[in-house]
Amino acid sequence: MDELTAKSYILNKPHTTESFPFGEGVAVYKVKGKMFATLAIGKMGNGDGKGQQDWWMNLKCDPQEAIMLRDIFSAVIPGYHMSKVHWNTVILDGSIPQGEIERMIDNSFMLVVSKMTKKDQASILVHV
């Protein structure tokens, strides 16, 4: 999955907005004001210092699943500049199947929605 496909998939989630509170190079995606994803080139928009230009996506994750995904995929690492327990960074280097990345995005979105009020949940889930 490339960054444009990831961005499109994320923005197609109901009530999702994109903003740049950390600067122009780091897109933050929120559902009803609650962050569930970020997307940037390398380390928060700065690359890796070695000219590497892979896009990095931070996604919220269940702590047990986060560990499992890190064990399975070398392109999944503890959340960069995020809680290492509740967030993973997914490096979009082509090594993870698109369907798996979509599943991780869906899980991140639903984890955030599940913590919202019943009223907000209902207004979102009617579109899912």
DSSP codes joined into one string, 52-80: ---EEEEEE--HHHHHHHHHH-TTEEEPT
Task: Say what the pLDDT of residue 57 is.
Answer: 96
Task: Say what the pLDDT of residue 43 is.
Answer: 67
Strands (E), the chain: 16-19, 26-31, 34-41, 55-60, 76-78, 87-92
State mean pLDDT over 92-105: 97
The answer to whether 32 and 39 have CB atoms below 8 angstroms apart is: no
Tens-place pLDDT, residues 34-74: 999 999 987 655 555 566 688 999 999 999 999 999 999 99
Q: Which domains does the chain have, with CATH numbers?
A: 3-116 (3.90.1150.30)
The answer to whether 59 and 9 have CB atoms below 8 angstroms apart is: no
Q: Say if pTM beats, i.e. exceeds, 0.85.
A: yes
Exposed (0-12), middle (13-18) or buried (19+): which is 111, by Cβ within 10 Å? middle
CA distance 83 to 103: 20
| pLDDT of 80 strictly over 90 | no
Tens-place pLDDT, residues 8-42: 999 999 999 999 999 888 999 999 999 999 999 87
Residue 33 DSSP label: T
